């Protein structure tokens, strides 16, 4: 998919197609979930529409703030983090992109993530653990990877897609605990059956949405690796960063990794690695071997083994 007009990140039609398909099926799931709720609570449809719309707007417009707050990220000025700002400036100049907000999270987990629905609202955050471990060229590769997500707009797509699970859970609670089940308690068998379907439909919607976002997430990570390697011209530096971070993860306390795990889909590398084939199916990232193999091929193409 081509990034915004003027961005020098390599295009990726495969990513574009996958994002379009993901959004189509996510939209279809929204319709199914809301349709079931409307069938159960015909007289409460204004409340349902208001709730769905309100949650969606809140998630989409405040996703960057929510993610930053959840990770304990704090925005830093050029005076507070001159080397980090300098690295972000280099990547923005190479990519011909607007500079995102720059943040640091106080965590020993070596990682980075990007959020934001557009370049103007984007935020790139790195952890203190990442800054301590990476050399300047490796840091450039990681930042280019994160900026590729912003340029390709897959951050916004992932934000919308991940919202489905939140919506399914919240609306199920409202439907079951908010007085929408009066028909079932009053002996209306049809309404009672529909009410019983709400948790089932919500679970199915959540499961399908989860798998769709995982499939997209794995591909977008490979796409971001490719975009970063081609932009910087140093795939070996990105491969070194990946290898170093993945190796260091084993030394991080399990408690810290579990705190970071909910943000796996947005992180540079997952907090927990996926060893088995079943775990890989649900993983938000491709395997390290897949990522390194792609970077080696790009290195050969560029004449830089």
Tell whether 285 is in a known binding site: no
CA 265 to chain centroid, in Å, comes to 4
Cβ burial, residue 251 (10 Å; 0-12/13-18/19+): exposed
Answer yes or no: is 221 a known binding residue.
Answer: yes
| 135 catalytic residue (yes or no) | no
Query: What is the distance between the alpha carbons of residues 4 and 6, in angstroms, rounded to a whole number?
Result: 6
Active-site choice (119, 146, 259, 289)? 146
Is 145 among the annotated ligand-binding positions?
A: yes
Residue list for the binding site for Zn(2+): 145, 149, 221
Write out the catalytic residue numbers.
146
Residue list for the binding site: 145, 149, 221
């Amino acid at each position: 998919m081509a990034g915004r007009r003027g961005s020098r990140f390599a295009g990726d039609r495969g990513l574009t197609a996958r994002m379009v398909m993901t959004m189509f099926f996510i939209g279809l799931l929204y319709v199914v979930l809301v349709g079931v709720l409307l069938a159960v609570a015909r007289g409460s449809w204004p409340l349902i529409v208001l709730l769905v719309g309100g949650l969606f707007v809140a998630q989409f417009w405040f996703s960057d703030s929510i993610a930053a707050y959840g990770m304990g990220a704090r925005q830093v000025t050029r005076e507070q983090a001159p080397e980090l700002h300098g690295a972000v400036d280099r990547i923005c100049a190479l990519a011909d992109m607007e500079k995102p907000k720059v943040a640091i999270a106080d965590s020993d987990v070596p990682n980075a993530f990007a959020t934001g629905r557009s370049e103007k609202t984007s935020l790139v955050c790195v952890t203190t653990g990442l800054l301590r471990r990476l050399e300047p060229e490796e840091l450039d590769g990681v930042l280019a990877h994160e900026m590729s997500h912003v340029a390709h707009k897959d951050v916004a797509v992932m934000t919308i897609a991940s919202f489905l699970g939140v919506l399914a859970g919240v609306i199920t609670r409202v439907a079951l605990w908010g007085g929408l089940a009066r028909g079932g308690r009053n002996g209306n068998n049809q309404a009672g059956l529909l009410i019983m379907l709400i948790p089932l439909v919500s679970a199915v919607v959540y499961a399908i949405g989860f798998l769709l976002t995982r499939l997209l997430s794995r591909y977008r990570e490979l796409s971001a690796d490719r975009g970063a390697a081609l932009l910087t011209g140093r795939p070996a530096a990105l491969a070194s960063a990946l290898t170093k971070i993945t190796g260091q993860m084993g030394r991080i306390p399990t408690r810290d990794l579990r705190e970071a795990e909910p943000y796996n889909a947005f992180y540079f590398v997952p907090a927990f690695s996926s060893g088995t084939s079943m775990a890989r199916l649900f993983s938000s990232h491709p395997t390290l071997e897949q990522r390194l193999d792609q970077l080696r091929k790009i290195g050969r193409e560029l004449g830089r083994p």
